[in-house]
């Protein structure tokens, strides 16, 4: 019985082909534990276990594999996996899931760089902002 999925599962619209989010991660788990789970499926482009300010992680991880096929096999093979006695919830990451936070950081970084550059050129930043606003 084939579930109609086939080997080459279609990636739902709005979801990433290679990024996976792992939820319900036990607090004892480390980034290394997550890496070990996914290593058999291919080279990990990234593995992140976002932390709270108190140093504990938030109970989920982002993993990015190199290809859609690797991500799909990992999803299928690891479904129902337990780590430290907790059943992991493994699903495709939504396109914006991780990008949003990254984008904010990048934007902040660019604004600072811009401000620095303008100051160096002796151009008032206010003038530049006003110019941009007029175009909207």
Query: Which residues lie below 8 Å from residue 44, measured CB to CB, with a gap of 6+?
Result: 35, 38, 63, 64, 65
Asked if pLDDT for residue 128 goes beyond 90, the answer is: no
* pLDDT of the residue at 37: 96
Predicted local distance difference test score (pLDDT) of residue 75: 96
Q: Is the pLDDT of residue 73 over 60?
A: yes
Q: Of 7, 2, 12, whose CA–CA distance to 77 is shortest?
A: 7
For 24-43, what is each residue's pLDDT tens digit? 999 999 999 999 999 999 99
Of 86 and 96, the structure prediction assigns the larger pLDDT to: 86
């Amino acid at each position: 019985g084939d579930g109609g999925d086939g080997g080459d599962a279609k990636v739902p619209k709005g979801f990433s082909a290679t990024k996976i989010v792992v939820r319900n991660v036990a607090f004892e788990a480390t980034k290394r534990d997550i890496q070990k789970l996914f290593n058999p499926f291919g080279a990990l482009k990234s593995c992140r276990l976002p932390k709270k300010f108190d140093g504990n992680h938030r109970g989920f991880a982002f993993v990015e594999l190199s290809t859609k096929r690797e991500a799909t096999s990992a999803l299928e093979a690891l479904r129902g996996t337990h780590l430290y006695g907790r059943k992991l919830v493994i699903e495709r990451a939504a396109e914006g899931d991780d990008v949003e936070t990254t984008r904010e950081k990048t934007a902040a970084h660019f604004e600072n760089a811009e401000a620095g550059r303008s100051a160096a050129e002796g151009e008032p930043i206010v003038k530049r902002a006003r110019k941009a606003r007029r175009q909207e």
